[in-house]
A and B are shown apart, each in its own frame.
Chain A
Amino acid sequence: MNIIDELIFHSPALIVAIPLLGAFLTPLISKINDKLRNGFVIFIVLLTSAIVLLLANDIYSVCGKIHTYVFGGTQTITEGGFAIRILFEVDGLNIFMALIATILAIAGVIYSWAFMKENTGLDKYYTLYLLMIAGMFGMILTGDMFNFFVFLEISSIASCALIAFWTNKGKAVDAGFKYIVISATGALFILFAVAILYGQYNALNMAVLASKIQFSFLDKIALVLLISGLAMKAGIVPMHMWLPDAYGRAPSSVTLILIGVTQASLYGALRMIFTVYGGNLTNTLNQIGDINIDLNLLLGIFIVGLSLLTIFIGVLMALKENNFKRMIAFAAVAEIGYMILAIGSALTTAFSTTDTTTGVMALKGGIFHILNDALDVGLLFLVAGAVYYATKETSLNSLGGLARNMKYTTIFFLIGLLAVSGMPPMNGFASKLIIYQSTYQVNPILAIVAILCSILLLAVFVKVFHSAFLGPKLPKFDEVKEVPKSMLLAMGIIAVIIIFIGLFPDLVLNNIVQPAVNALTDHTNYISNVIGGIQP
């Protein structure tokens, strides 16, 4: 076995271990030199990305391949048939999320160089930043329920401390407190659900649980707890109140990773619904009075209802918001609504035998939109951060005429604006079109609401574009200069990827999104990869 094979074999552990180790080395290295520390952090992130890419190459080389890494052993099942080992299981969906996390991490670290330069306590900042990245990768790659909880807590503790990084501002600390309350409660719900499942099936491994699950009454309670706990972390509407505060008050570079953490929670929900409970959602009937309803239909309708609420409230609150970053945060709430709209529509049809294509199509749109949303909203937040860096203003009322002094930032904002509101030829158009098409087949009203809200989103951002970048030159902004090169580079990376996906959506759909969808719909593959041919 040569070194590359060895690296690929151990890659799931390395992807988490390298940022974790790097995080605790950062304070030591920043004792020596600030420049060295910045170089070290980007080196750690690039190294992690290189390993992610190697692993991705390995996963995509064979259709339906799953890379299982067992900690402290080679066999997933020990003698006597106990699945007690912790293992990381990487399939198409995991690696898809890991690629998103990689892009966000690289852009975030490059952006931090200039953006955070004037702050003190940067050694702690970078330590927490790398911890957050490690937690995010851990949540994405793990195949163990309790491990998922641990990484969730790592990422939420680190991100909470970073949201409240500007402790001289009362509102930032307030946002941090809101976030930790919500995420601690959500995480405890998840732990409670894990305990319920463990009590019944004596297993913590996702694949083993999926093979054993009976769908008893207790399992339904566990499912509700899991979904509500993860929905709290993902910012779905009744639990969304922390999100605008946290996204809006955190430094922009932190917000970028926070988007990744939110979507890792969304990934968790997908994994729980489609893999852990996947086999039993179809053939379980729920009796309400005399009527029998398929449980997947019930769950799907519930999620679709929540998603419509999420889209509506996100867009309407964005319309009336005056603070630049909070407004983008509400738009981010609406975008999350689009993803769970697609997931809910997929649930209503994905398991039916008569109509197989619609559900898969909706799922494809939803998963593709996870990637696009992370890039679009991330770019907009970076632009908002750049505007704040240059002008020290956050209120839209006092901004104006910035296009004259900050032409690159303006172009990046225009790209992000078109992408987030689903205009061709940007990437948002490709995924939103799939969502419209598939939800139209489920119910035309869903597609109509989705299109309408997308148009409203365009209206919101055109208003911002006009009030912040166009208009007469304001005398107080005479001194404003274009932001430093590293911030432009970070925005440029994301913008180039946005345009690339927008121009070649088929390439991404067939090569990256399709394996992720296959991984979700074919959960028997996920199970048999761990427990092999042995029937429980």
Chain B
Amino acid sequence: MIYNIPYIAVVALILIGLYAVIFKRNLIKIVIGITLIESGVNLFLITLAFRKDSVAPIYRGSGSPLMSLPVPHALTLTSIVIGVAVLALMLSLVVHIYRHYGTLDSRKIGGEEE
């Protein structure tokens, strides 16, 4: 049971993130929602790598026969880097939107006549 708790946290994070993306009207909250989904997925990858009693795959002489899988760690690092890029881009767009419309409410954006 104790080993299932991370998976429950993963699902909870993803669902909270999806809720924020779909139902929130403030653009910053939408950005936070996407970051939450991303954290959930990253946590899932890290959890996959872990085995009971395993050590990090860099310690050779620790005596433990089990090592956690290194591949998901590499995937998570890549995913974090990509996530930072997406986050920065989204926030810069939010800044531009705020300059144009003076609001972050998604209902009041983009409705003007050309």
Binding site for B on A (CB under 8 A): 84, 146, 150, 153, 157, 160-161, 164, 167, 170-171, 173-177, 180-181, 184-185, 188, 191-192, 195, 198-199, 204, 245, 323, 394-395
Residue of A at shortest CB range from B110?
Answer: A174
B86 at the interface (CB under 8 A from A): yes
Which A residues are CB-close (under 8 A) to B97?
170, 173-174, 177
CA of A394 to CA of B113, assembled, Å = 12
How far apart are A225's CB and chain B's nearest CB, in angstroms? 10
Q: List 23 A-B contacts (CB under 8 A).
A: A146-B75, A150-B82, A153-B82, A157-B86, A164-B96, A170-B109, A170-B110, A170-B112, A171-B112, A174-B97, A180-B89, A180-B90, A181-B21, A181-B34, A181-B90, A184-B90, A185-B18, A188-B34, A191-B41, A192-B14, A198-B72, A199-B48, A204-B71
Are B93 and A164 interface neighbours, CB within 8 A? yes
B residues 14-50 with Cβ under 8 Å of A? 14, 18, 21, 27, 30, 34, 37-38, 41, 44-45, 48
B78 at the interface (CB under 8 A from A): yes
How far apart are B10's CB and chain A's nearest CB, in angstroms? 9
Which B residues are CB-close (under 8 A) to A199?
48
How far apart are B68's CB and chain A's nearest CB, in angstroms? 13
Q: Which of A171, A176, A195 contacts B93 (CB 8 A)?
A: A176
CA of A175 to CA of B110, assembled, Å = 9
CA of A84 to CA of B69, assembled, Å = 12
User: What sequence of 0s and 1s flags, for each residue 60-96 of chain B, a beta carbon within 8 Å of any chain A beta carbon?
Assistant: 0000000000011001001100100110011001101
Q: Which of B45, B48, B86, B100 contacts A184 (CB 8 A)?
A: B86
The interface centre, meaning the residue of A146, A150, A174, A245 with most chain B CB atoms within 10 A of its CB, is A174
Are A170 and B44 interface neighbours, CB within 8 A? no
Which B residues are CB-close (under 8 A) to A160?
89, 93
Which A residues are CB-close (under 8 A) to B100?
170, 173
Q: Which of A161, A173, A395 contacts B114 (CB 8 A)?
A: A395
CA of A97 to CA of B112, assembled, Å = 38
A-B contact count (CB 8 A): 83
CA of A177 to CA of B72, assembled, Å = 30
How far apart are A85's CB and chain B's nearest CB, in angstroms? 12
Are A161 and B89 interface neighbours, CB within 8 A? yes
CA of A268 to CA of B76, assembled, Å = 22
Binding site for A on B (CB under 8 A): 14, 18, 21, 27, 30, 34, 37-38, 41, 44-45, 48, 71-72, 75, 78-79, 82, 85-86, 89-90, 93-94, 96-97, 100-101, 109-110, 112, 114
CA of A153 to CA of B90, assembled, Å = 13
- Secondary structure of the B side of the interface? helix
How far apart are B20's CB and chain A's nearest CB, in angstroms? 11
Taking A153-B82, A161-B89, A170-B109 as contacts, is the C-beta distance between A177 and B27 under 8 angstroms?
Answer: yes
Residue of B at shortest CB range from A196?
Answer: B44
Q: Which of A146, A177, A198 contacts B48 (CB 8 A)?
A: A198
CA of A134 to CA of B98, assembled, Å = 32
How far apart are A161's CB and chain B's nearest CB, in angstroms? 6
CA of A185 to CA of B41, assembled, Å = 11
Q: Which of B37, B96, B109 contacts A188 (CB 8 A)?
A: B37
**Leading 9 A-B pairs by shortest Cβ distance:** A170-B100, A174-B110, A199-B48, A173-B96, A177-B93, A153-B82, A192-B41, A188-B37, A184-B86
Taking A192-B41, A195-B44, A199-B48 as contacts, is the C-beta distance between A177 and B86 under 8 angstroms?
Answer: no
Which B residues are CB-close (under 8 A) to A146?
75, 78
CA of A394 to CA of B30, assembled, Å = 31
Taking A157-B89, A170-B112, A198-B48 as contacts, is the C-beta distance between A177 and B14 under 8 angstroms?
Answer: no
Are A84 and B71 interface neighbours, CB within 8 A? yes
Q: Which of B71, B86, B110 contacts A153 (CB 8 A)?
A: B86
Taking A174-B110, A181-B30 as contacts, is the C-beta distance between A157 and B48 under 8 angstroms?
Answer: no
Which A residues are CB-close (under 8 A) to B112?
170-171
Which A residues are CB-close (under 8 A) to B14?
192
Taking A146-B75, A164-B93, A198-B72 as contacts, is the C-beta distance between A185 and B21 under 8 angstroms?
Answer: yes
Which B residues are CB-close (under 8 A) to A167?
96
CA of A161 to CA of B14, assembled, Å = 26
How far apart are B91's CB and chain A's nearest CB, in angstroms? 10
The interface centre, meaning the residue of B78, B79, B114 with most chain A CB atoms within 10 A of its CB, is B79
Which B residues are CB-close (under 8 A) to A150?
78, 82
Taking A170-B100, A176-B93, A195-B45 as contacts, is the C-beta distance between A185 and B72 under 8 angstroms?
Answer: no
CA of A223 to CA of B109, assembled, Å = 35
How far apart are B57's CB and chain A's nearest CB, in angstroms? 14
How far apart are B106's CB and chain A's nearest CB, in angstroms? 9
CA of A327 to CA of B102, assembled, Å = 29
Are B109 and A174 interface neighbours, CB within 8 A? yes
How far apart are B25's CB and chain A's nearest CB, in angstroms? 13
Which A residues are CB-close (under 8 A) to B90?
177, 180-181, 184
CA of A188 to CA of B27, assembled, Å = 19
How far apart are B1's CB and chain A's nearest CB, in angstroms? 19
How far apart are A224's CB and chain B's nearest CB, in angstroms? 14
Which A residues are CB-close (under 8 A) to B44?
192, 195
CA of A181 to CA of B38, assembled, Å = 12
CA of A445 to CA of B85, assembled, Å = 46
CA of A176 to CA of B41, assembled, Å = 24
CA of A185 to CA of B35, assembled, Å = 10
Which B residues are CB-close (under 8 A) to A84?
71
CA of A188 to CA of B85, assembled, Å = 14
CA of A170 to CA of B106, assembled, Å = 13
Residue of B at shortest CB range from A249?
Answer: B110
Which B residues are CB-close (under 8 A) to A395?
114
How far apart are B41's CB and chain A's nearest CB, in angstroms? 5
Which B residues are CB-close (under 8 A) to A175?
110
